Structure formats: C-alpha cells, structure tokens
Amino acid sequence: MAVIRDVMPAFELFQPATVDETLGLLERYGADAWIMAGGLDSFDWLKDRIKRPAVVVDLSQMMDLRGVRDVGGGLEIGALTTLTDLVRHPAVQQRFGLLAQAAELVASPQIRHQGTIGGNVSQDTRCWYYRSGWSCYRAGGNICYADSPTAVNREHAILGASRCVAVSPSDTAPALIALGAEFVLRSRGGERVVAAEDYFVGPDINITQMTVRRPDELLTTIRVPDRFAGAQFYFEKIRDRQVWDFPLVNVASAMTLSGETIQEIRLAVGAVAARPLRLTAVELAVAGKTRNEQTAAMAGELAVDGAVPLRHNSYKILLMQNLVKRAIRGGPMQGEGG
C-alpha cells in the first residue's frame, strides 16, 4: 500500500490551558480525540494521513505539567517535561542518573528539546508496515506483514509476540521500569496510579494499543521513588546510527550492592517485544549472588530463554544476552562484540 504524503487531514484543534479543561475534552470526544504533547509522533501520523482524528488536543499551553519536583528524596516529573530538561535537572543527574542517561540517548538534541517524557513512553510502535497504512492486526486487519516469509523484520520482536511482532521504541521506558516508577493517569472520574511496567501492554492483551491509557485519561505525572536513588546504574542502547535512531535493543538496570554481593536489582530491556520487559526471573536469580562474570553469564542466558527470532532478527538474541551480561557486570569485556 502506498503512503499518501499530502496535507494533513482536517481536524478541530483545542489548546487547553488546564488539566480540567483537557479532561473535559477527552470525556466529550473520547476515542475521536488525539492528544498531542511535543508533536513528534503526532505529526508523522497526521502528515502521512494514516491517523485521521476529528479532534486534536494540543497540550503545549499546559505549563503545570512541566518540570521536575523533589518529593521526599524521590521525584515527581510532569508528563510534559522535555527530555532535555530532564537530562539537565540536577536531581536527575545526581540521584537518578539512569533516567538521565536514557533520556540523553533519545534521538537528536533538536528532538529532545521538543519531545516530552510522557510522549516518549506513550509513543506508538515504529513498525513500518503498520505506520505505512498496511491493514495489519494492529491496524484492525487480519495479518502481520512483518511475520511473513518475505518480510523485512530485522527490528522486530523476539519475545512476547502474539500475532503482532512490533516492538516498543521507547528509551526512557526501561529506565523508569528499572527505577520502580509509577505513572499517574487522570480522568474526570478520578486518578489511578499504575506501576511503570504495567503501563505498557502486549498484543496478547490488546493488539491495537501500546499502553493502558483509556481515551478519557491523561498521563499527568511520573513518580520516581527514592528506593534506588544513588544506586549502581547501567544503561546501554544499541542502534544502527549514533544519532536520531531508535533502539535495536536497550537495557536498563538499578542495583544495590553489599561489597560485591548483589542485594537488589531491577532490570528491564526494550525493543525486543511489544512492551518494555522487566526481567523478573533474572532479578530473582542474581539476587544474593556475587557480581562477577559467572553471575553475568547466567543472567544473560536466562534473559533470552524462550526467545523466538524471525527471519532477519536472530542477532537480537545474542545482542540482548550480551547487554544483560553487561548490566550485571557493569560493562563490556575487552573484545566482546555487541
């Protein structure tokens, strides 16, 4: 199917200044409304005319959802805080360097100046079949074009596939999962708080959505507890190009040590499944173990247990295995490949 690159489809534009105004619009228009934060994902969809919302709710005027606040040693991050502001914030740099590392590796400086943390965790998958308007499962059709004999699928899933093999493209999501963050969703009916790892859904739960956000809800705040403040962090992103590109695989870990013994760890990977994955089995296996090459090797093997490669992405298994080893060990060994 050819992509029609034309003027954007007509829509009604709203630019609310408060959360209450926004929630009223979302309640009124529901699934017909498109929420736009930094606009980087939104404009791609609209320019290609793949998404045709009746209403666009532009959040750029909502200053109360910007900024980072220190709360009891943890952080409250407004969903409209730009990635650049997040990277530069002293508390993020000093106590939660994992999030700063992840945010700084998103795309290019120009995109980070405009893109928001809420948009980065809520963006849609980048599967080119889906985004080019092909009638795949995720778009409401009855086929996955990326999982066919002639498909180009080197960037697709090796874990958690269920009809759809698209992956989550977010860099900040694994970091927030590793930090034990919570996402605050508000509607006219009230507020609900979900753990970062539960904000994302796989195709086995909902094949047309990437997150649990309902049409009448707005992601307002991300809360990062003080539990891993100042811990041992590791973040690594492998991509084809060193600027702008989305991850082929990324990994994030937050670890506390007693000497060389791993007391506690949270570990998450991205771009290997439709949702960023917390590796709970690996966490349990390495807790109480010495942080060494043997423990790292065991963790790497366990991490990729059950992985099922497609025709062109078997390299992701070894790549993920090595990234998990590095996250446990603290870096690559000399001569170790990606």
Q: pLDDT (tens digit, 9 = 90+) per residue, 195-252?
A: 999 999 999 999 999 999 999 999 999 999 999 999 999 999 999 998 889 999 999 9
* CATH of the structural domain 66-122+168-224, one choice from 1.10.357.10, 3.40.50.2000, 3.10.20.440, 3.30.465.10: 3.30.465.10
Average per-residue pLDDT in the chain? 95
Distance set, CA 326 to CA 13, 65, 338 (Å)? 47, 36, 10
**Separation between Cα atoms, residue 106 and residue 335, nearest integer Å:** 27
Mean pLDDT of 269-298: 98
Q: Are 64 and 19 in contact (CB under 8 A)?
A: yes
Residue of 41, 63, 227 lying closest to 119 (CA atoms):
41
| Token pair recorded at residue 101 | 């590392």
- For position 99, what pLDDT does the model report? 98
Question: For position 6, what pLDDT does the model report?
Answer: 61
Question: Is residue 77 scored above 70 in pLDDT?
Answer: yes
Q: Quick one: what percent of the chain has pLDDT higher than 90?
A: 90
- State how far the Cα of 192 lies from the Cα of 231, in Å rounded to an integer: 28
pLDDT in the model for residue 4: 54
Separation of alpha carbons 143 and 103, rounded Å: 34
Res 144 pLDDT > 90? yes
What CATH topology corresponds to 234-329?
A: Enolase-like; domain 1 (3.30.390)
What pLDDT score was predicted for residue 112? 97
Determine how many CB atoms are found less than 10 A away from the CB of residue 59.
Answer: 24
Q: Show me where the domains of the chain are located.
A: 66-122+168-224, 234-329
Q: Which helix (H) or strand (E) holds 220?
A: strand 218-224
pLDDT bucket at 334, cuts 50 / 70 / 90: very low
Q: Which is nearest to 35 in space by CA: 59, 66, 7? A: 59
The burial class, CB within 10 Å (0-12 / 13-18 / 19+), for 298 is: middle
SS3 254: strand
- Extended beta strands in 261-326, E state: 261-270, 277-278
What's the pLDDT score for residue 3?
53
What pLDDT is recorded for position 301?
Answer: 98
Indicate if the alpha-carbon torsion angle 114, 120, 123, 125 is positive or negative.
Answer: positive
Q: Are 282 and 302 in contact (CB under 8 A)?
A: yes
Q: Is residue 318 classed as helix, strand or coil in its secondary structure?
A: helix
Q: Which residues, at least 6 apart from 316, have a Cβ–Cβ distance to it below 8 Å? A: 158, 248, 249, 272, 307, 309
- The answer to whether residues 115 and 82 touch, using CB atoms and an 8 Å cutoff, is yes
CA distance 46 to 35: 12
Any idea which residue has 């849609």 for tokens? 124
Residue 75 predicted with pLDDT over 50? yes
**Helices assigned H by DSSP within 2-71:** 19-29, 40-47
Q: Given a cut of 90, is residue 130 above it in pLDDT?
A: yes
